[in-house]
Structure 1
C-alpha cells in the first residue's frame, strides 16, 4: 500500500459556503458608527435587526443586550458578510437570549480585555440560546505573546458557534473556551460546529489550546457540549489541540489536518469521541487522541500518517496519579476504545507517563477491534506499565511487526482505494471477518454512518465507498476569510560595507528584509548596540582575515550588546570576529528581543570567532530574555572562547513549563576557557503541553569549561530532547558531571570525556560508546588530533574540520 497522499485538501475538502435564509424582521436599523450602534441597542426588542454598515470599525466595544425569542431572534449582522472590519482595541460582548451575530471580521487588532468575543457582559448577565455565525477572527493579537486573552468565551446555555473562521492566534490563551463557572453555565448543551480553526503556531508554553471545555477545578461537572463537523488545520499551539476538562461532551466528525498535538481528554468523564479523522501527512509531532479519566468511548476514528510520539501518539492511554488533585491525572477506567483504523502511524502508547507519581495503570478498559496497518516497519505500540487492566480482543495487525499481547491477530488485509487517498477493506476479507470479535458494546454504524451488517475491525464497513463526513463537510465562513498576514514584499539586496566607526549600524538602517551586508577585512567600531529590525545576513567578505567587530574605547556608557534581534526576525552572522574585550567587557554578543513578543525569532551563527565577553555581572555570548521564544538558535563551525558564560537560555524561572528556544543546535564548534557553563538551557515545572525543547550537539569540543567545584559544562534541566554525539569534553577536572541526562529522549554517544568528571544518566536516558580517555592532540589550541588519538579510531569524534583557528 502506498502512503496517503500528502495534499488532501484540494481533493476532498470544501471549506467554503454556508447560507442563512432570509428571515422577516420586526425592525431594521442601519448603524454607521459606535454611537449609532449604542443608541440602537437602548431600545432593542425581539425580532429587531441591526445592520452594521460596511467599512472599518476601529477601537469599538460592542455590547449587545436583548431578549429575543426562538421565532423572533435579535440579529446583529454586517451589511455584507466579511466587509465589516473590527480593528484596533475592540471586542464584543453579548447577554440575553436568542441573539444572532453574523458576518463580522475581527482583524488587524487586539483586545485589551479578557476575550475578543464573549457570551456574557458581566458575571450576572450572559447569553442563552444565542448564536455566533459566519464571523472571523484572524491574526488578532497583542504585541506580547505572554499576554493572556481568549478569542471566544462561551458562557450560559444552549448557545451555538457555527461556520466561523479562526486563524493566526499567537499569544497566550485558548482560541475558544467553554466556561462552567456557576450553576447557570453547567449542563449547557452548547454546539460548536462547522467552524474552521486555522494555523496557530507553537506558543512555547501552556495555554495554546484551540478549544478548551471547562477547567481543572470544575472538570467533574457536566457540560454536554457537542463539537462536530469542524476542521483543525495546523493547530500547533501546544500538545492539546482540544482540551476536554468537563463531562459528557461529544467530539465527532471533525478533521484534524497536520496539527502538532492531540485531542486530549484531560479531565472529566463519559465523553464520546467518534468518526473523527486525523491526517498527519508525515508532518512532525502530529497526533491523535489522548485518554485520561473514566467512562469515555473512543470509536470509529481514522488516523493516517501521524508521526507524534510519547503524549502525541495516535492513541495514548495514560497512567494516573493516586488520590490525584484536580489538576493532575485521574486514573483511566471504564474506557472503551473500539473500531478505530490506524494507518502508517507512530506507535500507540499504553500506560503513557508512567513514573513514581503516575503509578496507576488503566483498569476495566477495553481495546478491541482496532485495525492497524503499517507497511513502513514501524512498531505497533509502546508499553510503559502493566496491561493487566486492559482487555484486548479482535484487534487486527496488517504489518510486518508483531505486538506481543493476546487479542491481536496478524492478518493480511485485502485493501481497496477510495479516490487514491483512503484505503478501505474489500468485501473479500474472510480472515479479517473471522478474527474480529463483535460484542454488545461494539458500534452499530461505521465512520460514514453506514449500518454494520458484516462486522469487521476498524472504522469502515467492508467495501464501503463513501468518504467520512469529516472529509466532505463544509466549514468556515460563506465568504473568503482565509488570509495570511499582510507583508510588504521588498527585494533583498547585497550591501557592501566599509570598515570604520558606525558604518555597520548605518548600513543596517538602509537594509531591507532578506538583505546581505558584506563586510570587508578591517575593524568595524560600534558606539552603541545594534537592533536588527528585519531579517538580515551580516557576513565577512574576505577569505584571508575575518572582519573584526568591537566597541569603541572610552565611551561614557558602553552598550550592553552588539546585536539585538527584534520581533519575528532572523539574524545570520557569517565569517566574523566579534570581540567583547574592553576595560569593562561588553556583556553580550547577541541578545533576544527585550520582552515577550508574539512572533518567534531565530539566530544562526556560522564560521565566527567570538571572544572576550568576560563581564562577570551575568554576561554571556548569547542571552534570551524572559518571555521571548526562538524557533532556532544555531552555532556551527565556530570558536567561542575566553568568556564568562556561553549560551544563556535560562531566564524562564517560573517553573510553569516555559522555555526560551525550540531548538538549540551546536555543530563543529569549540567552546574554550568559559568560566561557567557553555550552555544553560532551562525548562522548569511539570507542564507537558509543549514539545519541551531540543538540544543537539555534534562534533564539538568543550575545553576548560565550568571548571569549578560545582560547575558543569552543559546545563539542560527539563529539556525533553537532548542529543549529544561525537564530541569531546576535557580539562574541567573540578567538574563532577559535565552533562546530566534525564529521560528517554536524552542520549549521548561516541564521545570522549577526559579530566572532566563523568556523564550522569537517569530516567531512561541512554549512553553508548562514551570513552574516558586522553584525546591526544597534535595541536592543543586548535584541537587537531594526533595519529594515535582515540578520536580517529571509530566514527570521527571531535571537529569535522578545524572549526576556527585562533588568530
Structure 2
C-alpha cells in the first residue's frame, strides 16, 4: 500500500512539472518569447483562432525524451492564413495540429525544415496538420508546401490538398553533406486533389534533384494515400538513391510513381486503383538496381509513359538530367488487372537508344476482360528475362514472354484475388529476389505468381490503413468570383493571366503581339478578348529554345471563348496546331467558342491542323463564327476516333467563315458507324466560303462520314478544280441547300440525303480577296431568287 501511495505522489509531481512547462501563446510575439524560454524542451501551445501573416520560426534543441513541442490548443483550430509560414530547425522539434488555409503566400516554402541555409532540422517532425488550397500571390512563383532538409525528420498524419500553383507539393533536398543519407520518413499522409499544372513541376513528392540524383537519400515513403493527384505525369519523382516506397495507395491519380533518377529503389506492397479513368498510371522505371514487387494495379487506363509498368530506354553517356539506362532491375510478383498496356523500351528515339539490360520480369499476373493489349514493345527487349508470367485474357501474347491460363478468382471485399484452385500459379520458380511474403505480409509458404498468396483473405495494408490527421479537416475549395483584367503585350502575359483568373473570368488583350513561350492548358470557363480597335496577334516566342505543338488545350470541363484574335502558326517554327482537345482518352465534355478570329500559316504537314481533337475525347460544342482559316495544311480535324459509334463532338457550328487556300480538308468530322441514320453528331455549315480547299482529285472539302445530321447552307465552294466530289452526303438527315459550287467538281448525295437550289456559276467578285460579290453576282438574292450565299458582310 505504501508503494502505491509513493508512486501516486510521484506521478502527480511529474504531471505537474509537465503542465508547468506548457506555455499558452496567443500571438507571434508571445510565441517567440516562449521559444526563448524553452530552448531545450517543453510545450508551446498556440491559442485557437486565426493567425494571419505570421512566420513561425521553430528553432531549438530538444531531446528524444524531452522534445520541444509546438502544437495547436485544439488540433485544427489554429488557422494560419494570409502570408504565413513555418520554419523548423535544431533537434527534436515537433509541430502538430496546424491548418494552413486561405493563404496568399509570397514564400518559396510554406513549411521548411530549416531556418537558414546553414541551420537544418534533425529528428524533427510535422504531424497532425493540414495545408489546403494555400495559394500564391504570384502565379509564376514555383513554391513548395513542404521542404525537408537535414536528417531523420518525419512528416506524418497530415493532409495536403488543393495545390494549384507551380512547384512540387513536398520536396526532399540533398544539397550539401548535411542532407545526404537523410533517412527521412513520410508516412500516413493524405495527398488530395492536385489539378493538372499543364507543365513540368507539378509532382506531389520529389526526392532529390537531377544534380544530386546519384546521392543516397534513404527516405521511406509509406502508408500514404494519393487521391486525384493529377499535377503532372510524375506523382512521385524519385531523384536520388536507396529510397523505399511501400504500402501506399494511389487512387484515381493521373500519373505514375516514377523512378526518374537515382538507383536502388524498393517499390513494394503498393496499391494503384485507377477506376478506369484515362491517364491513370502505375510505375515508370529508369536507372538501375530497383526492386519492384508485390504491387497491385487495377483499372489504370494510361498508356505510353502512363502504363501500369513502363521500362524506359536510356541515353548513351547520359547527363544527370536525361535518362540513364535501365540495368539490374527486378520486377516480380505484381498483379495487374484491367489496365492499359505495359510499355517496354518506352521513349525510343534518336537520343534514347539504350535498351534495358540485366532486367528481370518474372512471376507477375496480368489479366483483363476486354482482350486489350498486354504489352507494347517500342525497342528490343533482349536484355529483359521473362519467366513465370501468367496472362488471363483473350488478348494475343508472345508465348516466349507469357503463359496464357484461366485463373480462378474470388472476391475479398471488392478485390479479386486468386483462389487456391490455381495450380498453374504455383508451377513457377522462385528467383534471386523473389519476395518471401505476399502483399499482405503473409509468409509465402507456397510460392505462386502474383502479389497474393493463393486463397488469401486479407486486405493489403495500403487499403486498410487510415491516413491524414487525427481530426477531420472540412476542406472546401475556395469560391472565387470571376474577374475582368486588361493585359498588355508581353511574353507569358496570357498564360499568367489565365493561370490566376477564376473560372468565368474575362481577359482583355490590348492591341499588339503576344509571344507565347509555353503551351497553355485551360480547364475552366474563360474568355480571351482581343482588341477590337486594333490587331491582337498570338505567335510562338521569337528565338525560343523549346518549341511546342499548340497555343491552347481545352481540358475536360473547359469552356473557352476566343474573340478578335489572330493566330500565327509559322514564325519559323512550323507549329502543328492552334487549339487542341484534351489529351487522348481524357473523358469529360469541353466546349470552344471562336468569334472573329483568324488562323494563318499552320503549314505543318506532319499531322498538323488548325484544330485537332484527340482520340477518346468529346466536345459538347465547337463553334467557329465570323472567322478566317488561311494558308494552312488542314482546318478542323476530328477524325482520330475510330472506335465503333464514337465521335469527337456533339455539335459543330461553322458560320460566316472563310477557309482559303487549305491544302487538305477544311473540316474532317467523322464517325465509324454501319448506319449513318443512327443518331449521333451534328454539323452545321452556314454562310461560309471555301476557296482553294482540298484541290486534289480525291480531295474532300468537308469530310463527314457517319455523322448523323449535316446541314450545309448558303455557302460557296470555289476553285478546287481538281476535286471530283468535294462533298459527299449520306443519310436522311444530311442536307445541302442554297449553295454555289464553281470549278470544284460535283456534290454526291445518297441514302436519303437531299440537295436543294444548287448554283453552278461564276461568283463574280467585286473584291475577290475579301469575298465581296459584285452587284451582278449569282451569290446575291437579287440574282438568284433564293437567299444570300456566302459571307454576310456588315
TM-score by length of 2: 0.71
**Is this contact kept in 1: 2:715–2:738, CA < 8 A?**
no
Superposition map of 1:258-657 within 5 A: 258-419=252-413, 421-434=414-427, 436-487=428-479, 531=484, 567-570=501-504, 600-603=523-526, 615-616=534-535, 618=537, 631=555, 645-646=566-567
Q: Deviations over 1:142-177 (max 9, x none)?
A: 144321110000000011111011101000111110
1:380 shift after superposition:
0.5
1:30 shift after superposition:
1.1
What stretches of structure 2 of length at least 5 have no aligned partner?
1-14, 487-492, 540-549, 584-588, 605-613, 668-689, 704-710, 740-788
Query: Partners in 1 of 2:130 and 2:601 — Cα distance?
Result: 48
Q: Cα–Cα, structure 1 residues 796 and 244, in superposed 2: closer, same or farther, change >3 Å? A: farther
**Is this contact kept in 2: 1:729–1:756, CA < 8 A?**
no
Q: 1:676 maps to which residue?
A: 600
Query: Partners in 1 of 2:34 and 2:239 — Cα distance?
Result: 39
Q: Cα–Cα, structure 1 residues 799 and 360, in superposed 2: closer, same or farther, change >3 Å? A: farther
**Is this contact kept in 2: 1:68–1:97, CA < 8 A?**
yes
- Corresponding position: 1:193 with 2:187: yes
Q: 1:492 maps to which residue?
A: none
Superposition map of 1:662-701 within 5 A: 663=582, 674=598, 676-677=600-601
1:666 shift after superposition:
10
Query: Partners in 1 of 2:733 and 2:36 — Cα distance?
Result: 77
Which residue of 75, 80, 85 corresponds with 1:91? 85
Q: Cα–Cα, structure 1 residues 302 and 783, in superposed 2: closer, same or farther, change >3 Å? A: farther
Count of matched residue pairs: 653
Q: Cα–Cα, structure 1 residues 644 and 224, in superposed 2: closer, same or farther, change >3 Å? A: closer
SS at match of 1:121: coil
1:226 shift after superposition:
0.3
1:38 shift after superposition:
1.0
**Is this contact kept in 2: 1:50–1:76, CA < 8 A?**
yes
Higher relative contact order structure (alpha carbons within 8 Å, sequence separation ≥ 6): 1
Q: Cα–Cα, structure 1 residues 371 and 38, in superposed 2: closer, same or farther, change >3 Å? A: same
Q: Deviations over 1:249-274 (max 9, x none)?
A: 00000000000100000000000000
**Is this contact kept in 2: 1:791–1:798, CA < 8 A?**
no
Q: 2:699 maps to which residue?
A: 772
Q: Deviations over 1:355-408 (max 9, x none)?
A: 111111101000001101101121101110001010011000000002225131
Q: Cα–Cα, structure 1 residues 694 and 112, in superposed 2: closer, same or farther, change >3 Å? A: farther
TM-score by length of 1: 0.70
Q: Deviations over 1:36-77 (max 9, x none)?
A: 011112232323111111111110011111111111111111
Q: Cα–Cα, structure 1 residues 724 and 84, in superposed 2: closer, same or farther, change >3 Å? A: closer
Q: RMSD of the TM alignment (CA)?
A: 5.2
Query: Partners in 1 of 2:16 and 2:578 — Cα distance?
Result: 51
Q: Cα–Cα, structure 1 residues 229 and 724, in superposed 2: closer, same or farther, change >3 Å? A: closer
1:780 shift after superposition:
7.3
Q: Cα–Cα, structure 1 residues 240 and 258, in superposed 2: closer, same or farther, change >3 Å? A: same
**Is this contact kept in 1: 2:145–2:168, CA < 8 A?**
yes
Query: Partners in 2 of 1:378 and 1:115 — Cα distance?
Result: 44
Q: 1:109 maps to which residue?
A: 103
Q: 2:164 maps to which residue?
A: 170
- Corresponding position: 1:152 with 2:136: no
Q: Deviations over 1:96-125 (max 9, x none)?
A: 001111111111113212100110011110
1:601 shift after superposition:
2.8
Q: 1:791 maps to which residue?
A: 727
**Is this contact kept in 2: 1:283–1:307, CA < 8 A?**
yes
Query: Partners in 2 of 1:372 and 1:125 — Cα distance?
Result: 49
Q: Cα–Cα, structure 1 residues 142 and 43, in superposed 2: closer, same or farther, change >3 Å? A: same
Q: Cα–Cα, structure 1 residues 440 and 376, in superposed 2: closer, same or farther, change >3 Å? A: same
Bigger Rg over Cα: 2
Q: Cα–Cα, structure 1 residues 629 and 121, in superposed 2: closer, same or farther, change >3 Å? A: farther
